[in-house]
Structure 1
Amino acid sequence: MRHRPAFLRLFPARLRLLSTPATLLFVLRWVLLSGLVGVAAGSASALFLVALERVTAWRELHPWVLVLLPAAGFLIGLAYHHAGTLVGRGNNLILDEIQSPTTPVPLRLVPLVLGGTLLTHLFGGSAGREGTAVQMGAALADQLPRPLRLRPRDRRLLLLAGMSAGFASVFGTPLAGAVFGLEVVRLGTIRYEALLPAFLAALSADFVTRAWGVGHTHYPQLAVLPITPAGMGWALLAAALFGLTARSFATLTHWLSRQFARISYPPLRPVVGGVLVVAAVGALGTTRYIGLGVPVIEAAFGAPLPPHDFLLKLGLTALTLGCGFKGGEVTPLFFMGATLGSALAVVVPLPVALLAAMGFVGVFAGAANTPLACLLMGLELFGTPAGGYLALACVVAYLFSGHRGIYSAQLIGQAKHLRLGRQQGKRLGEL
């Protein structure tokens, strides 16, 4: 019988397992690996956020640059065309490599997506930032397995950690970032084997980004509001609308992408799309719906906004991303959700700030199929007093979005309900 040190007998059997050398080595190993991922992803996000702030400020001072959006689209399309179709798949490439590893994520993805996103925002495209940070985090993490001679299983965990780190550092929400990486790969399931790497990478990346002196948008803290039967009923109705909005955005974006794919020469797709965006903004007579739209998101928490705000942002973002411009979908989804929730305050007897916060996280939950990550994001950004309402928004919106989403490579691990059971095991892009 193997000899155990006498001091271990002082602890219950379950606690002894935590003291075994194998567990200790596992933890120390992932502290090191996740720390490396966190430093790389956090630094990349810091650089990206600073650059994005500067190009946005310059564009707002020189609104005429919008007319150059088609030219910027051609440069982006040309760069991705010559870099290969592999890197052009963005987040879907990362998801595929986690599910069925084939080839390392190219490091050239980092400068391509960074430059493409900055050009999109500089010249007035309607896009977000999460996709860029997630792709950079995962691509940087995937440079470690070969020199460190890691196993394929470890590579999957590193990719998940890189996604978590990128998401956490770009929004300043480490808990949501960690769970996002665990939840997004397979719809309806959580990758528990990656818990430690994801949380360590997310926490360290958020710390590194803040250590670089980069801040994040601050949103109002919600007041305590007890859940009542009437309040729950109104919350369920609003959440259903948030889910349908998420479904509409995902469906329209993928449909537009298929239409633009009919243009045989890929660099021309964002040129045509850029012309349409410029024409739409000119017809509207305002730049309110281009870029991230953070000022409008902040305004949504103060007073009810017009109901067309979320529709116009939905259309312009779907057009921008569907034709081939680069950037994320999440901040525009925040815009759609917050403005829709704000508009609903005219008819729904709930506080405008609460409805805006519910829409903020609910539309994102439905579009990304990550209700737990979105709930944690709501708690991190808006506080815990209204956690019950935020939970309803995320869960119900997730259900009402159906098997649709912004990530076509997302695998259905568990159907959302029995009537959709036949779709289990398929990718969203196959439906």
Structure 2
Amino acid sequence: MRALRHPLLRRYLPLVHEDLSVVYARDLRKWLIISPIIGVLTGLIITGIAVIILDKLWPAVLSYFLLHHWAIVPGLVLGFLLTGLIMQFLTPDPNEHSTEEIIRSYHEHEGKIGMRSFVPKLLAAITTVGFGGSAALEGPSIYGGAAIGSWLWTKLRRLRLSDRDRRIMLICGAAAGMSAVFRAPLTGIVFALEMPYRDDLAHEALVPSLIASVVSFVTLSSFLGAAPLFNFASSRSYARVDLYWSALLGLLIGLVAMAFVITFRRARSFFVKWAIPHWLKLVIGGLLTGLCGLLFLHIYQGNLVPLGPNYEAVGEILNQHHGTVQLVIFSVLKLAATLFTLAAGGVSAMFVPLFLTGGSLGTAFAQCIVHSSIPGLYAAVGMASFIAAGYKTPLAAVVFVAEATGGHAFIIPALIGAAVAYAVSGDASASGDQRLHEGAKAIEFGEASEDEAAER
């Protein structure tokens, strides 16, 4: 006690207390409890969905389609009919689901997600993707993780959680879902932080998302393994000229992505406003999607088909040779199938379709224009460029290509292509609910007010 009353301690202890208060101003302790719970629950649910679709349903459906081409159209129509019935009769709003619902909840509903339709929407995603819809697992994974984060907020109120914390938990769950489904924790973190905005990050969710993503990844990989999802051999070097070609490829893909996104948004708006039953919209979407797959297999025999989650198609394009014309036709029909699937109301998202289309166009570019001996480089650049332009997530696009494909040597060319594609495509985004950050809007408003004042 005498030591504690020493004049030096009495003088400096308040300063130490003040410094520690500043250092630990944020309450990070609660996230050491909450984030792992979100990560574990999300990892378990995504593991179940992945097993159902990738190990059970889609392989059987794909094998049957490849042996019996005539079954493609009726198979897609049946799957989409089930999706339409589930969404129309078991959810309050059949047009609200997947990534769009999460972004809208973040901006407009303080992170609140209604759990009454949680299971039906996951079932609808399984019928959409598992029966051959041109989409993959990122939609249900992002939605499932975010919904779990929002739901846990109501169960952990004793931790003195604020309304702001619910938005953080929403993004935290989305990051965990993305991390698990692609076995890419960095991608999960960056994509979830970029997702709400076209020009910024949801910075407040960084630490919780980091923890949840790692835990979710570990949870899923303990069941399914941790190897890169789309592994392919990549060169360790590239020439300076490849960087110029990467910029040109990013320019071309940025223009293609802009055209596709604008077309998709108009088609989606048309289907939403079309005054017919939701299940009938899905039947029409299934019919058109199936025709895309049937047309491609009519032109080119083989295992490559622009339908389903297409994980196997990524390996086909990255590791096997295909003609330039075939790759271009595949890209066109893949984009068309994706538009028909999701614009009509299919439950998922287009991350993998854009990724796959970019890889196809990048490979075709390498073969036809560059005549490169390392087409994997241009495949990686094309993948990153299409995702950056279509989703307005340039950082996530590059990180995803590096993590999911194992192509770490191509990060710099992918960054160049993604940056050019992002800039060229402007504000065109696959998500109509993405917004400019409040700071950017305030600056624009201020500049507009000054201009009006000067005119007056």
Using structure 2 for the length normalisation, give the TM-score. 0.83
Percentage of identical aligned residues: 25
The reply on whether 1:47 has 2:59 as its aligned counterpart is no
Residues 21, 257 of structure 1: alpha-carbon distance in 2 compared, 3 angstrom cutoff: closer
| 2:133 aligned residue | 125
8 Å Cα contact 1:49/1:214 also seen in 2: no
Matches within 5 A, 1:199-348: 199-214=210-225, 217-228=229-240, 230-261=241-272, 262-285=274-297, 288-302=305-319, 303=321, 305=323, 306=326, 307-346=328-367, 347-348=369-370
Q: Distance in 2 between matches of 1:376 and 1:389?
A: 12
Q: Distance in 1 between matches of 2:439 and 2:294?
A: 43
SS of corresponding position for 2:122: helix
Equivalent residue letter for 2:42: A
Q: Distance in 1 between matches of 2:46 and 2:97?
A: 20
SS of corresponding position for 1:157: helix
Q: Distance in 2 between matches of 1:75 and 1:169?
A: 26
Residues 195, 284 of structure 1: alpha-carbon distance in 2 compared, 3 angstrom cutoff: closer
Residues 241, 210 of structure 1: alpha-carbon distance in 2 compared, 3 angstrom cutoff: same
1:102 positional shift? 5.5
Q: Distance in 1 between matches of 2:344 and 2:220?
A: 31
8 Å Cα contact 2:110/2:164 also seen in 1: no
Aligned residues: 413
1:179 positional shift? 1.1
1:19 positional shift? 8.9
The reply on whether 1:156 has 2:150 as its aligned counterpart is no
Residues 296, 29 of structure 1: alpha-carbon distance in 2 compared, 3 angstrom cutoff: same
1:295 positional shift? 2.6
Residues 319, 29 of structure 1: alpha-carbon distance in 2 compared, 3 angstrom cutoff: same
SS of corresponding position for 1:412: coil
| 1:29 aligned residue | 30
Q: Distance in 2 between matches of 1:415 and 1:30?
A: 27
Residue among 374, 378, 382 paired with 2:397: 374
Q: Distance in 2 between matches of 1:312 and 1:94?
A: 28
Residue among 433, 436, 442 paired with 1:409: 433
1:247-281, CA deviations, whole angstroms, 9 ceiling, x for partnerless residues? 23322222222232324322210111212223333
1:78 positional shift? 2.1
8 Å Cα contact 1:187/1:414 also seen in 2: no
| 1:68 aligned residue | 75
SS of corresponding position for 1:143: helix
Unaligned segments of structure 1, at least 5 residues: 426-431
Matches within 5 A, 1:135-174: 135-149=143-157, 150-174=161-185
In proportion to residue count, which structure has more helix? 2
| 2:451 aligned residue | none
Matches within 5 A, 1:355-394: 355-380=378-403, 381-394=405-418
8 Å Cα contact 2:135/2:352 also seen in 1: yes
1:238 positional shift? 0.3
Residues 285, 251 of structure 1: alpha-carbon distance in 2 compared, 3 angstrom cutoff: same
1:11-34, CA deviations, whole angstroms, 9 ceiling, x for partnerless residues? x989954896655xx222101111
**Structure number with bigger Rg:** 2
Matches within 5 A, 1:106-121: 106-121=114-129
1:84 positional shift? 1.0
1:285 positional shift? 3.3
Unaligned segments of structure 2, at least 5 residues: 1-5, 299-303, 449-456
Greater alpha carbon shift after TM alignment, 167-176 vs 112-121:
112-121
1:218 positional shift? 3.6
Residues 243, 31 of structure 1: alpha-carbon distance in 2 compared, 3 angstrom cutoff: same
Residues 146, 225 of structure 1: alpha-carbon distance in 2 compared, 3 angstrom cutoff: same
RMSD of aligned Cα (Å): 3.0
Q: Distance in 1 between matches of 2:364 and 2:17?
A: 53
Residues 153, 360 of structure 1: alpha-carbon distance in 2 compared, 3 angstrom cutoff: same
| 2:142 aligned residue | 134
Residue among 68, 77, 80 paired with 2:84: 77
Residues 15, 48 of structure 1: alpha-carbon distance in 2 compared, 3 angstrom cutoff: farther
Q: Distance in 2 between matches of 1:339 and 1:213?
A: 27
Equivalent residue letter for 1:59: V
